[in-house]
Structure 1
Amino acid sequence: MTMPQDPTSPTIVAPQVLLGNHLKALKLPTFAREYEKVAMESARDSADYPRYLLRLCELERIDRERRNVERRIRQARFSQVKSLDTFDFAAQPSLNKSLVLELARGEWIEKRQNCIALGPSGTGKTHVALALGLAACQKGHSVAFTTAAALVHELMEARDERRLRALQKHLNTVKLLIVDELGYVPFTAVGSELLFEVFSQRYERGATLVTSNLPFDEWTSVFGSERLTGALLDRLTHHVHILEMNGDSFRLAASKKAQRRSGHAANLAAKATSQGDVEPKL
């Protein structure tokens, strides 16, 4: 005589439920989401079991990498997300395009080298820095983006709150540290020393990208000490790629273009109004 099964017995739990639990525990969300769809596609294509599993593994790996890239981009805290696809190299002929594209491949980050972008305000230094940071995230590197003023403020705040060592450790662990807009705001003696310590600790241990509107011989005006500035430049420029961007300001050019469009529209409107005031001949 067959005994009735207990409805709560695990032996009658639907395989889909058990499979879903296992895939969740194994952290395979794409498997869980796609396995039924891929099973039907494999059956339609008469694919064998290894090919079925291969398709699922490929989907899981692609989706996992996408999520990892998105996580690295969030953690980088970019001011904006920009790529080299939207950068107008033709408008900045002084910029070495081939070098920028080479840097986008990320080998300099793996070699723990540095990059410094120099040029007047508005020439695209931040855009290039953001684009290289994005490329680094896509290549699997951890990135931290900040302005020089914000970093110094954060360092001084961390020192006052007795968490400076933890912040320095974080800044040392990222593969690429991007410090934007060095030169716009002069630092106090304490701020200069704290920033120097960051660069010094990363020397030959991690890649650093700095953008500045000042040539090297004017960096003393920011750090306030020739000795400290010399020591800093010695470390930053030992293994370095220099990007010179001495063209016209993108923002100034865009402003002039907008003004020309506005003036042209005003002329057309005035002309149309003038023509409308003329009474037709009978």
Structure 2
Amino acid sequence: MSSESGNSTGQVVDLTAVRARRQRQPRTVILRAANLRADAEVHRHIGVNDGLHLADLHDVLVIAFGLEEHRGSAPWHFSTHEDRNERLDAADELHHHLAEEGDSIVYHFGLWDIIITAVESYLRDDGTPRALCVGGSGAFGDTEFDLAAINAELTGTATIRDVLAATAPAVRRLIDRSGIFDFVPLLQALDLTREVDLPRDVADVLAEIPLETAPPARDAFWTVVLALACMGDELLSDHVLETTMSALGWEDDDGTPLSGGRIRQLCARSLDRLSDLGAYGADALSPVDRLDIYRELLRA
């Protein structure tokens, strides 16, 4: 049976758009989520699948900032950074708004505003979690920053063995000796199995460090690299350094706990080399370029 074309309703399909969706490779985007107030700043760095929807990102942010008790009672939405009255569709995929370094939107939850900025983006593999917190600083309300607790809720399962298998032996031993497995989610989010394309001279320098030979100085170096990879502020870095070195059993010559500054002094020669490469110090490279250097250092 046939029908007259004038009596049927057709739908035009954009084949180019369909092919683009099919051919698009999923990526991980590293987001910096920041709540800035006059009296405090709170930051979270989160790696997410850029194919997730804004509604999914809402769920991730609720966990990362400890907002669970307000879920369901506080209104929320996303807006553009330029016009906070311009609401975004919660069904939009992240890559429509957070694809390039510097892209930003605003997450509104109750009376709080959290600025979301894309820091880096790279191709995903099947083993990469859909969302993982890789660092942060500052307490949000009464909720202290707890990387391990956040990621336990985000991932639901631990993949410690697989992650550590891809990690440099010295770092594996440091984690095992310290008992601080909070570093595992960070290493997982860094995706150490991903290929890193560094200039030969940079790779040669990285292969030579740490330059120090004394055990506490070598531990200090790897602890500093892990802290740098968290992309947090100096306060967070000092906390990571001091907590880790204390857990490893190191103390200063007078028997007092090592300070962040003292720990950096222990591996100053190696940090000078990192500074020459732009991976440390006031003249450091962009977060994207620094992360590639940290990956190369931390990978097996």
Q: Normalized against structure 2, the TM-score is what?
A: 0.27
Q: Which has the higher contact order (CA 8 A, sep 6+)?
A: 1
Larger helix percent: 1
Whichever of the two has the greater Rg, that structure is 1
Q: Normalized against structure 1, the TM-score is what?
A: 0.28
